[in-house]
Chain A
Amino acid sequence: MSHKDQSISIAAAHSGVLDGQQRLALALTAFGVLGLFVTIPMESIPGRIPWLLACLLLMSVGAAIYMRRSYLSRPAGIRNDGVWHSRLSARGAAAWVLAIVLTGFYVLLYFFPAQLGLGMDGEANRGIVALFDPLSRVLSGNAASQWFVYGALYTFAILAMGLKFILKHRHSRYQIIRTCSVMFFQLGFAFLIPELLQRLNYPYHNFANMWPLNYYFFDEWSVRGLLNSGGFGLFILFSGVAMIFLVSPLLTYFFGKRWFCSWVCGCGGLAETAGDPFRQLSDKSLRAWKVERWLIHSVLVFAIVMTAAVVWSYIGDGSGFFVTRGMLTGLLALVLGGLAVVALVRPGMLKELQPAVRWGLVGVLGTLVLVAVTAWIGGRSQLFFMEAYPLREWYGFLIGATFSGVIGVGFYPLMGSRVWCRFGCPMAAILGLQQRFFSRFRITTNGGQCISCGNCSTYCEMGIDVRSYAQRGENIVRASCVGCGLCASVCPRGVLKLENGKPSARLNNAPLSIGPTGVKLEL
């Protein structure tokens, strides 16, 4: 027996129930997506330009109607109603279907691009790649590749879902500005500028990206390509190196790693927009945190070793490069020496590490030093006694494609939107180490106002148990925090604030005392 009362319904419910308007909107979007994907097996597509435009228009209109109905029909505020009641956002059947479809798409994209219609050996494109040919010609002057198709869809997803995120969080200027920033960097720096560079016969380059996320930057073909592109190529090379050693440490010191991870980065951009409905799925357990730390730092070591080995293999006597093996060894020594100096200057930093981590660090550094020294003295052609190219291939296959692409996005609906950023990204690992020890960024806890409700932990996409700090009145300084600010947004009591301040006062392990007796709330 149902009692329907029509006098009230001012808004769509979100409790896993969609009203007619929302259903219609989703149907339009689905038709748009379907329109794109039915072209995959096609040899030739009738009227490519209107077809593509119709698909994009359907997806845009559908998304717009859905957002308007879902968010603008109610006052501005946190709207997570029904997140755990919906099969899509609560790891139900719809989530599994989506995960399989996404993963399948990524497998085709990375390993079987011909199946998507990429023309091999000079043949014309077919299928969905051909569908994007006209757009690619407008931008770069070339026919589309599978990467162009991917980049265009990726950008569309960030723009459309970014707008959705802005409407959902329109009461928070931090969220609006941050989302505009990721949309801007994706559209300009990651999509349009690299394409236009190619039109001008320069190497494809995303200025907002850097090594080690951009792991092929120091490959021989990449470096030679830049060196052969005159002054502008040199500019890209130097700006790329400056990003790594100067710009990124400075920005991270002042603002934390968020300047990159949730304001600039493309992976982060997708996670924060298209991945937002899945942020609550990140594992908050202690076990996950342990896995995260070993995994992400292993990938970082892998990336450093691989790059050093690759560079070592192509520079040397008579290779025509300005940098010699001696210089590279010197640079390695400088970096390691710098770390040693830091450890001497700030011994407190080492004390903050667990013994196991400390010894792991010492082991890794010792091995690196030993190997570098033996290679330098022995003059071997291989650094680390390894062939550089197989190493590079394995990295590209395991980390570059499988981890960051297939798992990183394919598993959104199952493990949350930041699987790659949290467990794999070597860039995030470097910035995280810096954020943990040398940064002004922290999340401040507001005295004793926490009610331990759990919204902050639930909506942390990085799986940080924010509540465990907040209920003790402790500030949060964690390597993995990307500073998206959602914990502070969803907090119903105004307990959390992202701040940049004096590094000395970051860790306030002196929670608010209650009353003159000094009973501390150290929960």
Chain B
Amino acid sequence: MKHVVIIGNGISGITAAREIRKRSDARITVISGESAHFFSRTALMYVYMGHMRYQDIKPYADDFWAKNRIELKRAWVKSVDTAAKRVAFEDGGTMAYDALLIATGSRTNKFGWPGQDLPGVQGLYSLQDLESMERDTKGIGRAVIVGGGLIGVEMAEMLLSRRIGVTFLVREDLFWGGVLPQQEAKLIGRHIAEHGVDLRFNTELDSILPGADGRVRSVVTKSGEEIVCQFVGITTGVSPNIAFLKDSGIACDRGVLVSEYLETSVPVVYAAGDCAQFRKHPDPERRSVEQVWYTGRMMGATVARTITDERTAYAPGPWFNSAKFFDIEYQTYGWVRNRLMPGQAEYYWEHPDGRLALHLVWNEEDRRFIGVNAFGMRLRHEVFDRWLREDVSVDHLVEHLREANFDPEFFAQHVKAIAISFKRNSAMHA
């Protein structure tokens, strides 16, 4: 019987394991040093905040794996021997495979700041990160978060839920300015400040200083200001977690290099999720390393087909993503870049209360709809997916926006206001 070994029990590895089980009778082993069972990584923040317990963020009951004959191995992988087709574990012992899927996710980026390895300084990615954050924030008064992105804002929300003051250092002049257009970045920045976060733009970390107890005492910014704190959250992005592949002979760059079939340079070895890097992404609009829950899930589903002898190329369809910044939900379909590309036109609508917004981008020449950002408004995925596949015009979209509304019943409808001001805006530019 063919033995498929999967390193990593995150969304990519687990999706692959489940799909392989549906499609074949192969023996499947999922290896993880991080946790005994699959949990929803995106929900770690809710455990800290007390919205849920750890067992509540596990999408499947613990007996699910045995029922589906998916073997679980709790160990850290030290190295992979592709010639012998074996993986070796940190605590000794090896395991043979017939097919190997690398789905080891990411690790927190650190940029060599002095003091970055002090106790009380950490990112937030793994279960171990959550545990150390729980331990190191007990009864403290202030934390500093470095890096303005999704994990940073989640960390801020977590800390505030325990009445820990938060100073948020953002290198750029806007929040998440690498991704969000400035209107949305300002909206979110306002909302973060509304929650009492001390948000500081154009501020860079220089070093982290220890106290007498050997723990973090303060951070110093590039401008020389010292901020006293007892915890530092590093949220300056993540990169593929592939150090253990150093001598494996598997070709890596930033991540494990894969073809569009998620095959690595070595036969019967595959990679999916955060740790994979496409040599040439099948969708030229996308980044070669995709660090998103949804793409991890799709890659897992795709590579499962390839592993079960139905070679399938990764074809993720129209881009979508979502997040929540404190109380404001964000959904995006298609592409809204942080700056308008040549040949594109845009329309931005914001509600007077400054918490709701809709940003449309289309092709100026043929008015083909390209992408949408929605803040504080829920949109129907299915409808936008269809519109993006069918290349509808932005005018058609605005006309039928009601169809795509996914807000709860009785919520104020802004469709009419948006349509009217969109048309007025179009007439002005005509």
Contacts and interface: CB of A to CB of B under 8 A. Distances in A.
A452 B411 contact: no
A459 B216 CA distance: 37
A497 B406 contact: yes
B239 to A, nearest CB: 21
Contacts, number: 197
B51 A455 contact: yes
Given A7-B165, A458-B51, A467-B59, A447 B385 contact: yes
Interface string B339-383: 000000000000000000000000000000000000000111110
A485 interface: yes
A514 B315 CA distance: 7
A522 B21 CA distance: 13
Contacts of A522: 22
A286 B412 CA distance: 38
A39 interface: no
A519 B160 CA distance: 41
Nearest to B230: A3
Contact of B408 (A78, A84, A85, A498): A498
Interface string A444-473: 101111011111011000000001100100
A9 interface: yes
A224 interface: no
Nearest to B139: A2
Contacts of A453: 40, 42-43, 46, 52, 57
Contacts of B331: 449, 493-494
Interface residues of B, number: 69
Contacts of B140: 2-3
A390 B218 CA distance: 76
A364 to B, nearest CB: 31
B327 interface: yes
Given A14-B161, A16-B50, A454 B406 contact: no
Interface stretch (A69-77, A295-303, A422-430): A69-77
A108 B161 CA distance: 41
A113 to B, nearest CB: 40
A489 interface: yes
Nearest to A485: B408
Interface stretch (A168-176, A306-314, A343-351): A168-176
B196 A10 contact: yes
A459 to B, nearest CB: 8
Contact of B382 (A15, A174, A512): A512
Contact of B329 (A177, A494, A517): A494
A517 B312 contact: yes
Interface in B156-179: 160-163, 165-166
B25 interface: no
Interface in A470-523: 471, 485, 488-490, 492-494, 497-499, 512-517, 519-523
Interface string B38-55: 001011001001111100
A3 B213 CA distance: 14
A11 B196 contact: yes
Given A5-B142, A447-B380, A173 B411 contact: yes
A4 interface: yes
Contacts of B58: 454
B124 to A, nearest CB: 15
A512 B408 CA distance: 21
Contacts of A448: 294, 297, 320, 381
Given A11-B196, A497-B378, 11 more contacts: A5-B142, A75-B194, A80-B50, A447-B382, A449-B294, A449-B381, A454-B46, A493-B329, A494-B329, A515-B315, A516-B317
Interface of B: 11, 15, 18, 22, 40, 42-43, 46, 49-53, 56-59, 61, 139-142, 160-163, 165-166, 191, 194-196, 198, 213, 230, 293-294, 297-298, 301-302, 305, 312-317, 320, 322-324, 326-327, 329, 331, 378-382, 385, 406-412
Closest 10 CB pairs of A and B: A447-B381, A77-B327, A515-B315, A5-B141, A8-B165, A494-B378, A453-B43, A3-B141, A10-B196, A13-B163
19 contacts: A8-B196, A14-B50, A14-B161, A15-B161, A75-B191, A75-B195, A80-B49, A82-B49, A83-B51, A84-B52, A85-B50, A285-B61, A447-B381, A449-B322, A455-B52, A458-B52, A488-B408, A494-B322, A512-B382
